[in-house]
Amino acid sequence: MSTQTQQASIPKEEPDDEPDDVLFNTIYGVRTIELNRPKKLNSLNGSMARKIIPRLKEWEKSQLASVIIIAGAGEKAFCAGGDVAALAQYNQQGTSGIERSKAYFGLEYQLDHLIATYPKPYIAYMDGITMGGGVGLSAHAPIRIATERTLFAMPETTIGFFPDVGGSFFLPRLDGHIGAYLALTSERLKGVNAYYAGIATHYIDSSSLGNLTARLSELVFKDYADMAERLAIIDTTIEEFGTGLPYDEPILLAGNLRSAIDRCFCYNSVEQIIQALQQESGETALWARNTLKTLSERSPTSMKVALRQMELGRTWDISDTFRRENHIASKFMEHPDFVSGVSAKLINKPPTTPKWEPPSLEEVSRKDVDAFFNVEGTTPLPLFGVAPAWRRYPFGYLGLPKEEEVRRVVLEGGKSAEGVVATFLTTKGGKPGVREKVEEVLRRKCEVGAGDEVIWVQDEKR
């Protein structure tokens, strides 16, 4: 990939763009973006991206715009993904159609990168289905609010694609090997479990979102307040609307299941993951069998590319992530699995079984996978503004404690389980779910020593 970086151009609307697929509103200092394709579950297309980018750039310069909120119209979906059915149909038109699809992904990733690096507070209401392209519009926001209606997934391997929209960045940075598990299996996380897993930073009831928007519009920030100070005020404001977490929805990725996920999905080879799943016994044996069945239905090429993506993506910075994903997406537009997968799963009525090429893992060579990541001689995707090189989300502390944070506190020594919990309750200001998350990590990773001191047990090795 060339080292020269070009500035992205603000896109202009095209004649056939839908007029009202995105609605914008101003409420004092708040600017709202409403994805307005409820019959299509607010799936993202080029027309919508061409409207959102110019508004974000405009608000970036406006002293009157203090907070950006993005949400979806209707009660079913925030955004169910990109409009991949249209892209598959483009691809069937030949070279010109494939180039049109490639252009869409470039535009989408420019938008996602703009959101990830936006200099003002950007809040995503992940109310309803939040998948694929909808994850790109939300996962990189400093504040991401889940509700009881949230349904998160990265379903790309089911359609012969890869977990894009910055999945290379946020998935490997989830606790343990949850990211690889979600990437390969397309497992869904519902409601509060999107919050427990770190996908969302906050959880409130959907009925409170309207009042929250009104309350956020009343906030007034000091001119000299930096991003961290503004987000801290917003964080406190959101917690005013919390009514506690649902008692009947425990942490899904916990206990023996979570240990099995880390044990099986820690490898950089899909074949090794499959072997590890085949060796599971006892309480997790049924889960392992179901997971093996799931993997057998996925595109072999997609799985191998996605797993390599999880391995490499943990070292990429946020800007390099979207440039490299643009190259990977372009290669998939030339690969038969994308059209086969989308046609079978989303276009054919009733859905049919995709015909993957090649049909087995053994036939997907290392050379085949390398081609998706070889950017030598290619022109990098132009991005907006200065392309930052951070490798961790600057405001990742706004969510629940990460497992690594719990580990560090335990390794300091001298604390009981309740002492560790108290430490995080203090640093997180009593945030809902802190106790549940920390206690789950302690039960799974620690033993109790003399004087009730918790001792971190050596992490499992491959």
Instruction: Take residue 117 and report the two structure tokens written for it.
Output: 């690096």
* Catalytic entry in 156, 187, 325, 403: 156
- Give Cβ neighbours of residue 301 (< 8 Å, ≥ 6 apart): 160, 335, 337, 356, 357, 358, 364, 368, 369
Pairing mode, if any, of strands 446-448 and 454-456? antiparallel
Q: Distance (Å, rounded) from C-alpha 293 to C-alpha 46?
A: 35
* Catalytic entry in 34, 164, 325, 440: 164
CA atoms within 13 A on the CB side of 197: 26
Is 97 in the active site? no
Which whole-number Å values give the CA distances from 395 to 116, 218, 235, 347, 398, in the listed order?
Answer: 11, 23, 11, 39, 6
Four-point Cα dihedral 283, 284, 285, 291, nearest 10: 160
Q: Distance (Å, rounded) from C-alpha 67 to C-alpha 225?
A: 13
Three-state SS sequence of 70-98: EEECCCCEEECCECHHHHHHHHCCCHHHH
* Catalytic entry in 46, 81, 82, 433: 82
Is 317 in the active site? no
Q: Distance (Å, rounded) from C-alpha 178 to C-alpha 171?
A: 8
Is 164 in the active site? yes
Is 176 in the active site? no
Cis preceding linkage at 250, omega within 30: no
Q: Distance (Å, rounded) from C-alpha 42 to C-alpha 397?
A: 29
Nearest to 143 by CA among 93, 70, 87, 77: 70
Pairing mode, if any, of strands 22-27 and 30-35? antiparallel
* Catalytic entry in 81, 106, 128, 133: 133
Scan for tokens 């020594």, then name that residue: 413
Which whole-number Å values give the CA distances from 230 to 95, 102, 111, 235, in the listed order?
Answer: 47, 37, 23, 9
- For the purposes of burial, counting CB atoms within 10 Å of the CB of 426, is it exposed (0-12), middle (13-18) or buried (19 or more)? exposed
What type of residue sits at position 368? D
| Catalytic positions, written as ranges | 82, 133, 156, 164
